[in-house]
Amino acid sequence: MDIQPLKIDGAYVVTPRQFPDGRGVFMEGFRGDKLAEHLGHRMDVVQSNISVSSRGTVRGIHFADVPPSQAKYITVLSGSIIDFIVDIRVGSPTFGQWESVVLDTSERKAVYLAEGLGHAFCALEEDSTAMYLCSAPYTPEREHGINPLDTTVGLTLPDDIEPLLSPKDEAAPSLAQAEASGLLPRYDDCVRFYDSLRSA
């Protein structure tokens, strides 16, 4: 299993080693001990979510209050998605920037994003099935969103995709509006929280 950091602090791409034979393929989908070597702490997985999306579905940009927020480990079980990690931590050196990783059933990559980062994805195929391992349970009153089509953020979707959003995501504020209203996490608060996890 190869784990590499992305340019946004707290985000990683994970590429498993696959073992194919005449029966199919086997791989390790998640290794908490290997991930901990990079994070400095174990990811405490307390909830698993599965979403099935039609082609063009865009989910996000979602985030939760820090602490505890939600660290996420995302992979695809069928189909393919473009996964987006967005730095929405006010004061971060990469605030407002994003990275994307294609998750599919060929390379079977996964992405990890730390607490305080924004997450979104776009489904590239019908019935694309994503699985998320989460470090904290879903808590509606602590969950927030940013419109994934906000031109300031500028997520790049394929030209042949007609984005399909939920009413909640369509009504979500822009990054600037979320910052002005105090919704966004602060980078220094996130760093203190990461340090507390490492020292626990």
Average pLDDT on 91-114 reads 98
Percent of the chain with pLDDT over 90: 100
Percent of the chain with pLDDT over 70: 100
The runs of H, that is alpha helices, within the chain are 32-39, 167-170, 175-180, 187-199
97: left (phi over 0), alpha (psi -120 to 50) or beta: beta
Q: Is the pTM of this model over 0.85?
A: yes
pLDDT tier, 88 (very low <50, low <70, confident <90, very high otherwise): very high
Q: What pLDDT is attached to residue 20?
A: 95
- For 10-19, the pLDDT digits (tens) are 999 999 999 9
- For 35-56, the pLDDT digits (tens) are 999 999 999 999 999 999 999 9
Q: Going along 30-69, which residue ranges are E strands?
A: 47-53, 58-64
Average pLDDT on 178-183 reads 97
Catalytic residue among 62, 73, 112, 144: 62
State yes or no: is 112 an active-site residue: no
Q: What does the domain layout of the chain look like in residue ranges?
A: 2-199
* Cα–Cα dist 63/48, whole Å: 16
* Cα–Cα dist 8/49, whole Å: 24
Task: Please give the CATH topology (third level) of the domain spanning 2-199.
Answer: Jelly Rolls (2.60.120)
Phi, psi (5° rounding) for residue 157?
A: -105, 155
State yes or no: is 62 an active-site residue: yes
* Cα–Cα dist 103/166, whole Å: 22
Q: What pLDDT is attached to residue 200?
A: 83
Residue 31 has pLDDT above 90, yes or no: yes
Average pLDDT on 98-109 reads 97
If you search the block for the tokens 């994970």, which residue do you land on?
Answer: 14
Average pLDDT on 163-174 reads 97
Cis status, amide bond into 167, omega within 30 of 0: no
Catalytic residue among 12, 112, 132, 194: 132
pLDDT tier, 143 (very low <50, low <70, confident <90, very high otherwise): very high
